Homo-oligomer: A and B are copies of this chain.
Amino acid sequence: MSDSTRDRIINVADALFYQKGFEHTSFSDIANSVGISKGNFYHHFKTKDEILNAVIDFRLFRTRELLNAWHTSEAEPDKRIQCFIKILITNRAKIKLYGCPVGTLTTELGKLSHPLLVDANKIFTLFKDWLASQFEELGKCKSESEALAMQLLARSQGSATIASAFGDEEFLYEEVESHVRWLNEIK
């Protein structure tokens, strides 16, 4: 991502939407954080939904990059799945404070009946399909792979929410250990 004003806005909005939520983040918040005026802001994005749309696209892009990185760094499908499991530890500090960025955004947009909910959900689908294809490589049939991907997604999601609610970073380590054990049992 380059350093244009537009990209700096997207980066700041991405962080603020995660930390404060979409609705609770105002144009002023973003403009102040970027260090530009509100008027300038509107030169780059005409509506709040436009910036949300850009943030979702950015997150989709980063997610694809992350999945590709895991795919190239690990040769075995079970090792790749472990990469997913361990993001709870990699991002533990932020998860403790703000929960899962994917789950909290889709939950909020759902309650707002926001038209871009559909696009935010694509981030979940990206993870789900990638996980399912790893389970298939492990030798599972298509329908079981899909089910296992959903299960793992749900487990990670729950771990993040509970760790955040109880402000418990240590819990994330226990959960990751438990998820890895689960993976070794089912594979």
Contacts and interface: CB of A to CB of B under 8 A. Distances in A.
Interface of A: 19-21, 23-24, 97-99, 103-104, 106-108, 110-112, 121, 124, 147, 150-151, 153-159, 161-162, 164-166, 168, 171, 174-175, 178
24 contacts: A19-B111, A20-B112, A21-B108, A21-B111, A21-B112, A23-B24, A98-B110, A104-B111, A107-B161, A110-B165, A150-B166, A150-B171, A151-B178, A153-B158, A154-B161, A154-B162, A154-B171, A154-B175, A155-B155, A155-B158, A156-B158, A157-B158, A158-B159, A161-B161
Contacts of A104: 107, 111
A19 to B, nearest CB: 7
B110 A164 contact: yes
A165 B107 CA distance: 7
Contacts of A112: 20-21, 24
A20 B107 CA distance: 10
A25 B147 CA distance: 36
